[in-house]
Amino acid sequence: MDRRVIPAAAVAAREDVGPAKPSRVSRREFGSCVAAAAAGWLMTACGPRRLHELSKDRLRARLRDLEREYSERYAAPVTVTDTPAMPNVLFAYALDISRCVGCRRCVYACVDENNQSRDPQVHWIRVLQMDKDRGVDFTHADPYYAPREVPEEGHFYVPVACQQCRNAPCTKVCPTGATWTEPDGIVVIDYDWCIGCRYCMAACPYGARHFNWSEPSIPRGQLNAKTHVLGNRPRPKGVVEKCTFCIQRTRDGRYPACVEACPVGARKFGNLLDPDSEIRYIIEHKRVLVLKEDINTVPKFFYFYAT
Ligand code: SF4
Ligand code: SF4
């Protein structure tokens, strides 16, 4: 089997978007498309500015408002920063499939770090269990595996989150311009501008975006109070969210939480533009693959086999 290309049937293993089927657009669906486009146009033409368009003073005021709101709600001093991208940095990720044991510690470290809802649960990382006999085969991948112990005999594991695509289909379909790629390669969402139309979720081939159907809930005392305005700040109901490479950490020179939590060192992170970085070494010396290479999304999330 060609291990560099993940079959298109991977779509079937996604939580949020089912396999693509030819379908007719009902009058109601058509109406909601028109409404979303109109709302996008109205917000763009008449509304307040997106975060990256605000003057410095207005941005500072918005951040202070958010800090006040969250500090009151969670009864703790919350900071909301807008730390910008560093020059000469393009972030990338690599995951060693031969090491991952499927323990899901990365999933729960991500939940804690990024203030994902506990009830209903939102997980930005999904770990897929696959059969060794079949190889990388998303048609038979199981995201709900629950053996007594991991790794389970005869299986291996492929964690999947946002692939931070260079050619990201999700950013192209947003009617309000609420999602874009930052200079350091992180694809972000402005939660104030997301109207919840979920076009980006339909466009994402990896099921990496998640919608807040209900008011997200984080118990007091469990909030990570160090937040970034485009990352882990608490989200409202009705917006889309996803992995941001832990923007609140990585722009401060720290590793993403999942890298630190992984007990077997399967997760690697770094600057693609640094020729001496570990990530560059992996890409240049190991057997590397990207998911769905054939659809030209050009992920900055690489999978590799160290052994
Ligand atoms: S994985 Fe999905 S959400 Fe992430 S950048 Fe690619 S298309 Fe967008
Ligand atoms: S923490 Fe590491 S070993 Fe455990 S599931 Fe995540 S990547 Fe795999």
pLDDT of residue 2: 35
Phi-psi region of 103 (alpha: psi -120 to 50; beta: other; left: phi over 0): alpha
Within 10 A of 141 (CB to CB), how many other CB atoms are there?
23
Mean per-residue pLDDT of the chain: 89
pLDDT of residue 269: 98
β-bridge pairing 240-241 and 301-305? unpaired
Question: CB within 6 Å of ligand 1 — which residues?
Answer: 162-165, 168-170, 187, 204, 206, 208-209, 242, 297
pLDDT of residue 16: 36
Q: pLDDT for 89-122, tens place per residue? A: 999 999 999 999 999 999 999 999 999 999 999 9
pLDDT of residue 53: 83
Low-confidence ranges of the chain (pLDDT < 70): 1-49
For residue 174, the CA-to-ligand 1 centroid distance in Å is 12
For residue 157, the CA-to-ligand 2 centroid distance in Å is 8
Q: pLDDT for 223-252, tens place per residue? A: 999 999 999 999 999 999 999 999 999 999
pLDDT of residue 23: 43
pLDDT of residue 14: 34
Best probe residue, ligand 2, of 99, 105, 149 (max atoms within 8 Å of C-beta): 105
Burial of 170: CB neighbours in 10 Å, binned 0-12, 13-18, 19+? buried
Q: Among all chains, which residue has been given the structure tokens 């192209």?
A: 172
pLDDT of residue 13: 33
> In this structure, which ligand is nearest to the CA of 262?
2
For residue 262, the CA-to-ligand 2 centroid distance in Å is 5
